[in-house]
Amino acid sequence: MTPSTSRQKAETLHRLHHDGKPLLLVNAWDAASARVLEQAGASVIATTSAGMAWSLGYADGEKLPRNELIAACARICRVVRVPVTVDIERGFGRNTDEVCTLVRALIDLGVVGVNIEDGVAPETRRLLPAQALCEHVGGLRALAAQANVPLFINARTDVYLATHDQPARRFEQAMERARLFASAGADGIFVPGMDQPDEISRFARALEQPLNVYAGYPGVPAIDALAAAGVRRVSLGCGPLQSALGLLGRIAAEVFTLGRYDTMARDMLAASDLNRLFAPRVA
């Protein structure tokens, strides 16, 4: 992908966060899911880190080798035309230089956005310090300037997912971190686990950057309600793959226990339609 094309796609990604309605991300985990979503009308393809790991035989939590992450993203970028943004968890690196090396490889593929998180310690579920993510965001901002691509950096805080001694302070702590990440150069703020409309509305009003919420589980307000609360980006994360795998389990159970294929046949896509998704397209 040429630098000018990457710049155009990055600019499109930025604009879609300020276009009068939330950017809706039904997250992809491989090339096939990315093309199905693009065909369905997705304006942006966003990856799910958990879904990508599971689909390649690894647990979530940066267990996926970096080379397999890059290869999976290369396949997605090869088959879609819309902007691509990649969830890189905590950055798949021990330091900012390693994180930037990964993202440089993704930019070279044509990726124009990343989602990067502060995270929690796996053994304690305690929130990790904010400083590391601030340093990573600053490094990525400099890298994007050097590459002449306005990379959209979506900074995620896991305050609402971590073990917390004072749950009532989660809102304030998430806001503190959001402001730190924004000062470091983040373009958007992602707060998974925040799903109460009043809190979402307060957060969105207090934040200059677009607010991203996670809608990959039951009970999250509908898109219209989230839009009214000021949300600018809605991610389904690994929810679509979880649902798809649940469907696969039901198909298998029906075959093994009833000897029938009704569930499989009900909504399956035709092989010819799937082949057309990957047919050469005129530039």
| pTM, entire model | 0.96
Nearest residue to 107 via CA among 144, 134, 142: 144
- CATH fit for domain 3-277, picks 3.40.109.10, 3.90.180.10, 3.40.50.2000, 3.20.20.60: 3.20.20.60
Distances (CA, A) of 224 to 52, 86, 185, 252, 282: 29, 26, 29, 36, 36
Q: Please determine, for residue 166, whether its predicted confidence score (pLDDT) is greater than 90.
A: no
- DSSP for 48-108, please give it: -HHHHHHHTT--TTT-S-HHHHHHHHHHHHHH--S-EEEE-TT-SSSSHHHHHHHHHHHHH
- The neighbour count for residue 8, using CB atoms within 10 Å, is 14
CA–CA separation, 171 vs 199, rounded Å?
8
Q: Is the pLDDT score of 80 beyond 70?
A: yes
Separation between Cα atoms, residue 103 and residue 92, nearest integer Å: 10
Q: What percent of the chain has pLDDT over 70?
A: 100
Domain range summary for the chain, segments of one domain joined by +: 3-277
Confidence of residue 130 (pLDDT cuts 50, 70, 90): very high
Give pLDDT tens digits for 218-231: 999 999 999 999 99
pLDDT tens readout for residues 181-203: 999 999 999 999 999 999 999 99
Output the six-digit token pair for 13. 């990604």
**Euclidean distance between CA atoms 208 and 280, whole angstroms:** 42
> Given this model, what pLDDT does residue 165 score?
81
pLDDT score recorded for residue 3:
77
Nearest to 231 by CA among 206, 207, 200: 200
State the Cα–Cα distance between residues 208 and 222, nearest whole angstrom.
23
Q: State percent of the chain over pLDDT 90.
A: 94
| Close Cβ partners of 126 (under 8 Å, ≥ 6 residues apart) | 120, 162, 163
